[in-house]
Amino acid sequence: MAETERVIEKKSKAKAGVPRQVLLKAYELMCTAKRMAETYDENREVCSKYVHSTSRGHEAIQLAAGLQLKPCDYASLYYRDESVLLALGMEPYELMLQLMAKRDDPFSGGRSYYGHPSLKREGFPIIPHQSSATGMQAIPATGMAHGIAYLEEQQLLKGDDNPVVLCSLGDGSVTEGEVSEAFQMAVLKKLPIVYLVQDNGWGISATGDEMRAMDAYEYAAGFKGLERMRVDGSDFPDSFKGMKKALAYVRKHRAPILVHAKCPLLGHHTSGVRREWYRGEELEVHKQDDPYVKFERWLLASGETEKALSDIRKNAYEKVVHDYNRALTAADPEVEDFDSHEFAPTPITEERGQRAPDSGEKVIMVDAALHAVDEILRNHPEALFYGQDVGRRLGGVFREAATLAEKYGDHRVFNTPIQEAYIVGSTAGMSTVGAKPIVEIQFADYIWPAVNQLVEELSKSCYLSKGKFPIQSLIRVPIGAYGGGGPYHSGSVESMLLTIRGIKVAYPSNAADMKGLLKASFYDPNPVVLLEHKGLYWSKVPGTLEAKTIEPDEDYIIPLGKGRIVQQATDENILSGNSTVIVTYGMGVYWAREASKNFPDQVEILDLRTLNPIDWEAIVSSVRKHNRVFVLTEEPLLNSFAESLAGRIQRECFKELDAPVWLLGAENLPAVPLNVDLERMMLPSADKVVKALGALMSY
Ligand SMILES: Cc1ncc(C[n+]2csc(CCOP(=O)(O)OP(=O)(O)O)c2C)c(N)n1
Ligand SMILES: [Mg+2]
> CA angle, 565 as apex, 560 and 571 as ends, to 5°?
150
| pLDDT tens figures, 464-507 | 999 999 999 999 999 999 999 999 999 999 999 999 999 999 99
Report the CATH number at residue 606: 3.40.50.920
User: Do both 157 and 276 map to the same domain?
Assistant: yes
For residue 606, being part of any structural domain is answered with: yes
Beta strands in 444-594 (DSSP E): 473-479, 504-506, 527-533, 549-550, 564-567, 580-584
| Ligand 1 atom at minimal distance to the Cα of residue 173 | 15
Beta strands in 29-162 (DSSP E): 74-76
- Structural domain including 662 reads 564-697
For residue 276, being part of any structural domain is answered with: yes
Which residue is closest in CA terms to ligand 1's atom 12? 203
| pLDDT tens figures, 214-253 | 999 999 999 999 999 999 999 999 999 999 999 999 999 9
User: Do both 64 and 123 map to the same domain?
Assistant: yes
CA dihedral 206, 212, 216, 217 (to 10 degrees): 130
280 exposed, middle or buried (CB, 10 Å; 0-12, 13-18, 19+)? exposed
Q: β-strands 610-612, 504-506: how paired?
A: antiparallel
| pLDDT tens figures, 396-419 | 999 888 899 999 999 999 999 999
- Among 499, 525, 550, identify where a domain stops: 550
pTM of the full predicted structure?
0.96
Those residues whose beta carbon sits under 5 angstroms from the ion ligand 2 are 170-172, 200, 202
For the chain, give the longest Cα–Cα distance: 103
| Ligand 1 atom at minimal distance to the Cα of residue 80 | 21
Q: Are 226 and 182 in contact (CB under 8 A)?
A: no
| Sequential DSSP letters for 349-411 | -S-BS-SS-TT--EE-HHHHHHHHHHHHHHH-TTEEEEETT-STTTS-TTSTTTTHHHHH-TT
For residue 346, being part of any structural domain is answered with: no
Residue 115 has pLDDT above 60, yes or no: yes
Which residue is closest in CA terms to ligand 1's atom 11? 203
pLDDT at res. 161: 86
Report the CATH number at residue 419: 3.40.50.970
For residue 348, being part of any structural domain is answered with: no
User: Do both 538 and 591 map to the same domain?
Assistant: no
User: Do both 659 and 531 map to the same domain?
Assistant: no
Residue 6 has pLDDT above 60, yes or no: no
The reply to whether ligand 1 has any atom less than 6 angstroms from the CB of 523 is no
Instruction: Give dist(CA 354, CA 151) in Å, integer.
Output: 33
| pLDDT tens figures, 504-522 | 999 999 999 999 999 999 9
DSSP state of 459: I
Ligand 1 pocket mutation, candidates 202, 204, 266, criterion most atoms within 8 A of CB: 204
Instruction: Give dist(CA 660, CA 149) in Å, integer.
Output: 56
pLDDT at res. 401: 87
| pLDDT tens figures, 51-101 | 999 999 999 999 999 999 999 999 999 999 999 999 999 999 999 999 999
Tell me the C-alpha to C-alpha distance, in Å, between residue 96 and each of 7, 85, 360.
39, 12, 61
Which residue is closest in CA terms to ligand 1's atom 26? 133
Alpha carbon of 171 to ligand 2 centroid (Å): 5
Partnered with residue 612 across adjacent β-strands are 505
Instruction: Give dist(CA 61, CA 43) in Å, integer.
Output: 27
How many CB atoms sit inside 10 A of residue 545's CB?
Answer: 11
Q: Are 50 and 99 in contact (CB under 8 A)?
A: yes
Indicate the pLDDT class of residue 11, thresholds 50, 70 and 90: very low
- Quote the number of domains for the chain: 3
The reply to whether ligand 1 has any atom less than 6 angstroms from the CB of 202 is yes
User: Do both 572 and 546 map to the same domain?
Assistant: no
The reply to whether ligand 1 has any atom less than 6 angstroms from the CB of 168 is no
Instruction: Give dist(CA 517, CA 495) in Å, integer.
Output: 20
**Residue of 406, 424, 405, 407 whose CA lies nearest to 415:** 405
| pLDDT tens figures, 309-333 | 999 999 999 999 999 999 999 999 9
| pLDDT tens figures, 588-631 | 999 999 999 999 999 999 999 999 999 999 999 999 999 999 99
For residue 352, being part of any structural domain is answered with: no
Q: Are 332 and 271 in contact (CB under 8 A)?
A: no
Residues 371-380 have a mean pLDDT of 98
User: Do both 598 and 647 map to the same domain?
Assistant: yes
| Sequential DSSP letters for 11-54 | HHHHHHSS-HHHHHHHHHHHHHHHHHHHHHHHTHHHHTSS----
The reply to whether ligand 1 has any atom less than 6 angstroms from the CB of 130 is no
User: Do both 689 and 652 map to the same domain?
Assistant: yes
For residue 533, being part of any structural domain is answered with: yes
- Among 520, 550, 580, identify where a domain stops: 550
Half-sphere exposure of 487 (CA within 13 A, CB side): 5
Alpha carbon of 130 to ligand 1 centroid (Å): 14
Which residue is closest in CA terms to ligand 1's atom 18? 170
- C-alpha 623: how far from its chain's center? 37
- Among 282, 304, 329, identify where a domain stops: 329
pLDDT at res. 698: 94
For residue 544, being part of any structural domain is answered with: yes
Q: Are 212 and 205 in contact (CB under 8 A)?
A: no
The reply to whether ligand 1 has any atom less than 6 angstroms from the CB of 211 is no
Indicate the pLDDT class of residue 4, thresholds 50, 70 and 90: very low
Mean pLDDT of all residues in the chain?
A: 96
User: Do both 314 and 454 map to the same domain?
Assistant: no
Alpha carbon of 171 to ligand 1 centroid (Å): 9
User: Do both 580 and 531 map to the same domain?
Assistant: no
CA dihedral 410, 455, 107, 186 (to 10 degrees): -30
The reply to whether ligand 1 has any atom less than 6 angstroms from the CB of 173 is yes
The reply to whether ligand 1 has any atom less than 6 angstroms from the CB of 270 is no
User: Do both 192 and 291 map to the same domain?
Assistant: yes
Phi-psi region of 376 (alpha: psi -120 to 50; beta: other; left: phi over 0): alpha
The reply to whether ligand 1 has any atom less than 6 angstroms from the CB of 200 is yes
Cα dihedral 450, 451, 454, 456 sign: negative
pLDDT at res. 652: 98
How many CB atoms sit inside 10 A of residue 695's CB?
Answer: 12
Indicate the pLDDT class of residue 15, thresholds 50, 70 and 90: low
Question: Percent of the chain beyond pLDDT 70?
Answer: 98
Q: What percentage of the chain's residues is helix, strand, coil (to nearest 5)?
A: 45, 15, 40
**Residue of 111, 101, 89, 100 whose CA lies nearest to 40:** 100
In the chain, the amino acid numbered 134 is T
| pLDDT tens figures, 101-113 | 999 999 999 999 9
| Ligand 1 atom at minimal distance to the Cα of residue 172 | 16
User: Do both 242 and 385 map to the same domain?
Assistant: no
Q: Are 132 and 114 in contact (CB under 8 A)?
A: no
For residue 112, being part of any structural domain is answered with: yes
Instruction: Give dist(CA 54, CA 382) in Å, integer.
Output: 39
Instruction: Give dist(CA 452, CA 177) in Å, integer.
Output: 12
Q: Which helix (H) or strand (E) holds 166?
A: strand 165-170
**Residue of 606, 615, 519, 503 whose CA lies nearest to 558:** 519
pLDDT at res. 17: 86
Partnered with residue 439 across adjacent β-strands are 386, 475
Residues 436-462 have a mean pLDDT of 98
Alpha carbon of 132 to ligand 2 centroid (Å): 14
The reply to whether ligand 1 has any atom less than 6 angstroms from the CB of 453 is no
User: Do both 451 and 310 map to the same domain?
Assistant: no
| Ligand 1 atom at minimal distance to the Cα of residue 53 | 19
Question: Within 212-364, where are the H helices?
Answer: 216-220, 236-253, 275-278, 282-287, 291-301, 306-328
Alpha carbon of 14 to ligand 1 centroid (Å): 39
Ligand 1 pocket mutation, candidates 134, 173, 197, 460, criterion most atoms within 8 A of CB: 134
Which residue is closest in CA terms to ligand 1's atom 21? 170
